[in-house]
Amino acid sequence: MSWWELAKRHKGKIIAGGAIIGGAVALSMNMNQKRVESPQEESGLQARRHYVFDANQSACDESIRELAPSVFRMIQTRFNVESITRQLQEGNLSTEKKIELWNELKITVMGRLVAVAHALSLLTLTLKAQISILAADIVTITSGATKNNGWWSWAPASMSALVGGKGEMSADEKRRNDTARQVFLRSIEFFTQTGVLELAEVVDDVVKRELQEVRLDEMRDSDEVLALLNSLSAKVAAETGSLSAYVAPIDKDDTSRDSVTLLLRRLILLLDGDQCRETNGRLVQFFLSASTRCPRVRLMPNERRILKYTTYLAACAPEALVYGNCVSQQAESIKQGACGKEFEKLFECVQKQQTRLKRAARILSVYRYNFGVTPPYQVIIDGTYAHAALKEKLNLAEQLPKYLGAPVEIHTTKCCLDELTKLGSPLYGALCVAKAQLVADCPHNPPRGAGDCLSHLARRAKKDKKKKKFIFATQDPTLQDKLRAIGGIPILYIAYKTVLLDPVSEATKTEMETEKGELETIRELKKELLGEEPEKKKRKKKGVNPLSCKKKVMKKSGVKPVEGTKTANGKRRRRKKGGETGGAGGGGGEEKMETMSLLMPSPSAPSAPAPAQMGGLDFLPSVCLSTTLTHTCSALLLIPSHTMVDAPPIVVCGKENGETVIFSTDFNQRFGKSEACTSPITAIAYGRATNQTGSELVTISADGQLTLFKVIEGATLSLQPTFHQLMQANITAAVIADVDRDGLMELIVIMTDRVVRTFQWCTESNRFLPRNKWEVPSHIAGVSIGESATRQYEAWLSQAGSRQYVAIRFSGDHSVTVCDSRMDAATIFMPYRADYVRTFGSLVTGIVVHVNQKERRLRMIGGDIIGLGTVRLPSKVVVITVDVNGLCLVYAYNERNIKKMDIDPLMRMTVLKDTFHMALIGTPAAIYVTVATTRGRLANYSIPMDTIDHRFSRFNT
């Protein structure tokens, strides 16, 4: 087993273990302590104490779940195993360097394991210790009083959500709460920011020293590894000194007696006590043995799954407590298989949770996708539901967001409240629960029965698309039936002591069918109104290249195609060569690299003097790749190379025959290719598609086969397929971006049938799931995606043959706006901060950037634009256009110049004629432009960033 695998396999277990074991061990420890202290307390108080500790147990595990990932990530960064493995994979290393890296790797892997174990157990202990101090306080404070849960408010969201009490506090209690909050925050902040790193330093020192002579590659037995880890850990424990130093550093000479310091002292006393040190030792040991021996190591291969997993765990507190108690009893001599029965029970519970939450996500996605029910979810509860929640002791504010997997706002109506009030004392508790919620508007005066009221709201939401989409929570079977019959209404109920979503009803399913029918009708209507677009029909004919039948003569636009003797020579030679290779290639030849000089475009010839305002525009880019493909390119993308800083990019080209090929552009002439799909590759995207740390390549073929690839750069380039999924056919473009700003990437696809969809990687189901869908009135001629002036993330779709464009807002209300423009029909519209822009085989005669409701043109864009791209730099946005004659223009703008005027080109150069695809990328050193022609030629050009900066500042002073 490699060390890297070891680390990767066990990180999940370590965190999950932290939540269970830590919770149980420390809790039982503290409870025993309390009992010994006051054996003769009255039974009521004891019951109350049990309740408080019980409540704390679950809240505390939640906090550990919240804080553990950030602590884990800090250690991950501090002990950067990934960067070393990356270096090792890169090849071209001398033997000495390799040995050095392997040594570094062994220290880093072991250091990470030991540090994680220590940090997480210390975090657990700290939280438990604080909780026990505060909980003991509550019991003391409230032993006489009837109720007070005010102190919850200082805790992290998860803790205060537990009670959700809005009870009034006296001034004295408030002050106490504030003090407690300060202590809590101060120490946890200190630990997560400074303490962890100090702890990591100690670990690093110890591991470096101890492992100097140890040859890890000879150690294959997990027992040996565990023994080594334990001995390292014991040394770390000996050198860490007092635990409190990492959590609550306090000046020993500080004798102040303010309440904050006093509370801190209590915390320190507890942490540095023998019991805590011993518990810490056991915890660390458990983590380490779990990391080498646990039979279920493959449960959590990545971090996101761990987070999910800890959520499931949090719902299995009773089982965790049983397992934890068992483990804590045997902690000193824990062996493989110990507490196996308890573990099975816990594991079963966790699996049940997982199934339950997956089912919820599946049902919700139906409503989200088809009926616009989006987070934050608006749940509306009636009296029956409030009553059931109370009976089953379910805290709705805590349970619903967990179950629905998103923030939730809980409402009721005044009709429901009225009904509960009328029913009187048997339902007094339910009334209290309902009263704690928001009151949704309903028009009933005088109030109606709750069933009538809610079904009215459901029908109203159905008719008026603008009304809030509620999820209805009720135990009333009559109302449930009514809601099911309406269709498109999600229903929540309580059964088996838990909240559940009703399966998608028959009416809802029928509804989904008709919904599609309606879209069809709208499409027909729009076709009638806007007329058939001839271009669309033409594009349907497969194999016909619109460019070959629409070769336009350059307009007298001030920019002339550059012709000169040199160019003519170059072109003749190029064509001849291209023709030959192309012919051979048809028979299945390999891609060949060609001498660079052949493709050198020539600068403007003196015989064709440029107009005065275009003077000094010409630029000669360097060519860093030129080749002829065996089959025509059908999708093109440039992706960053990681071989070195500022490395030239990698060209990714999807071809008509379904292959994807990649080329290096660093003169090493490396290339690689994938297995062929059954139909042409039509879309390529690159990014963190599955939200893992590394970027992945996504290709989609015309018949909807999506493939994920890892791009491996070594002595050769290769594409390693990692995943397949069948998507919709006719996808013409794909982009990976976090468009709704939820921290997770979306895959946005544009389809030929005027539809834009977003997908998101779902870790549980291990595939891309649909998120949203928009349909636009007519054929999409071009698309740009980026930030609007208000920093909204939007897609702008230019509509072929009309002066309209459609703006889709990805976040917030997901609205679609159809806008009119004064520009002519073949215009592409872009938001000011465009991250992505391209055309779809349509010839464009205008490009317009939107800035504060103003439309700014890019001037003199040349002939018919076929290729278009942007690079967003920190200080400006660069737009590059290519027309059918190979004239390539570079524009740049920033907030200052675009507010003043339309934008003139910065430079002009010549690239391959008959370009059909174009891609751009920016590195700190240069902007790279790759073009692919209708004849299968491919070339990559670079423009130094210096030149762009220099010209930009010259033009704009």
Q: Which residues bind Zn ion (CB under 5 A)?
A: 413, 415, 442, 444, 453
Closest approach, Cβ 420 to Zn ion, in A, equals 13
CA 8 – CA 10 distance, rounded (Å):
6
Provide φ and ψ at 796, rounded to 5°. -115, 120
The nearer residue to Zn ion, 464 or 590, going by C-beta atoms, is: 464
Closest approach, Cβ 413 to Zn ion, in A, equals 5
Closest approach, Cβ 432 to Zn ion, in A, equals 20
DSSP H stretches of helix in 90-195: 95-142, 157-163, 171-190
Closest approach, Cβ 735 to Zn ion, in A, equals 45
- Is residue 395 exposed (0-12), middle (13-18) or buried (19+ Cβ within 10 Å)? middle
The nearer residue to Zn ion, 415 or 736, going by C-beta atoms, is: 415
Closest approach, Cβ 447 to Zn ion, in A, equals 6
Q: For residue 654, give the H/E element and its range.
A: strand 650-655
CA 479 – CA 79 distance, rounded (Å):
57
CA 56 – CA 593 distance, rounded (Å):
68
The nearer residue to Zn ion, 456 or 577, going by C-beta atoms, is: 456
CA 626 – CA 598 distance, rounded (Å):
9
The nearer residue to Zn ion, 416 or 783, going by C-beta atoms, is: 416
The nearer residue to Zn ion, 394 or 415, going by C-beta atoms, is: 415
Letter for the amino acid at 692? Answer: Q
CA 291 – CA 18 distance, rounded (Å):
12
Place of tokens 């061990």: 25
Closest approach, Cβ 411 to Zn ion, in A, equals 12
Helix 340-371 with 506-530: angle, nearest 10 deg: 40
> Among 361, 362, 372, which residue's Cα sits nearest to residue 488?
372
Give DSSP secondary structure letters for 182-238.
HHHHHHHHHIIIIIHHHHHHHHHHHHHHHHTT--GGG---HHHHHHHHHHHHHHHHH
CA 97 – CA 396 distance, rounded (Å):
58
> Among 672, 624, 632, which residue's Cα sits nearest to residue 940?
624
Letter for the amino acid at 676? Answer: A
Tokens of 212: 């100097």
Closest approach, Cβ 408 to Zn ion, in A, equals 21
The nearer residue to Zn ion, 20 or 430, going by C-beta atoms, is: 430
Q: Do the beta carbons of residue 339 and residue 330 sit within 8 Å?
A: yes
The nearer residue to Zn ion, 446 or 588, going by C-beta atoms, is: 446
The nearer residue to Zn ion, 59 or 416, going by C-beta atoms, is: 416
The nearer residue to Zn ion, 456 or 523, going by C-beta atoms, is: 456
Cα 246 off chain centre by = 32
The nearer residue to Zn ion, 442 or 927, going by C-beta atoms, is: 442
CA 120 – CA 310 distance, rounded (Å):
14
CA 42 – CA 934 distance, rounded (Å):
89
Closest approach, Cβ 453 to Zn ion, in A, equals 3
The nearer residue to Zn ion, 382 or 713, going by C-beta atoms, is: 382
CA 313 – CA 405 distance, rounded (Å):
15
Closest approach, Cβ 465 to Zn ion, in A, equals 21
> Among 209, 230, 281, 259, which residue's Cα sits nearest to residue 25?
281
DSSP-derived secondary structure letter, 18: I
> CA 123 → CA 105, 201, 240, 572, 792, distances in Å?
26, 17, 15, 72, 38
The nearer residue to Zn ion, 392 or 452, going by C-beta atoms, is: 452
Closest approach, Cβ 460 to Zn ion, in A, equals 10
- The 3-state DSSP class for residue 726 equals strand
The nearer residue to Zn ion, 117 or 442, going by C-beta atoms, is: 442
Tokens of 224: 């040996």
The nearer residue to Zn ion, 60 or 453, going by C-beta atoms, is: 453
> Among 398, 390, 397, which residue's Cα sits nearest to residue 427?
390
For the chain, how long is the longest CA-to-CA vector? Answer: 108
Q: For residue 363, give the H/E element and its range.
A: helix 340-371
The nearer residue to Zn ion, 425 or 445, going by C-beta atoms, is: 445
Q: Do the beta carbons of residue 239 and residue 250 sit within 8 Å?
A: no
CA 3 – CA 75 distance, rounded (Å):
17
Closest approach, Cβ 414 to Zn ion, in A, equals 6
Q: Do the beta carbons of residue 378 and residue 485 sit within 8 Å?
A: no
The nearer residue to Zn ion, 8 or 444, going by C-beta atoms, is: 444
The nearer residue to Zn ion, 446 or 924, going by C-beta atoms, is: 446
> Among 388, 606, 405, which residue's Cα sits nearest to residue 476?
388
Tokens of 219: 């150690």
Letter for the amino acid at 790? Answer: T
Annotate 547-586 with b (16+ C-beta within 10 A) or e (fewer): beeeeeeeeeeebbbbeeeebeebbeebeebbeebbeebe
Taking the CB of residue 376, how many other CB atoms lie within 10 A of it?
11
CA 474 – CA 465 distance, rounded (Å):
23
The nearer residue to Zn ion, 442 or 639, going by C-beta atoms, is: 442
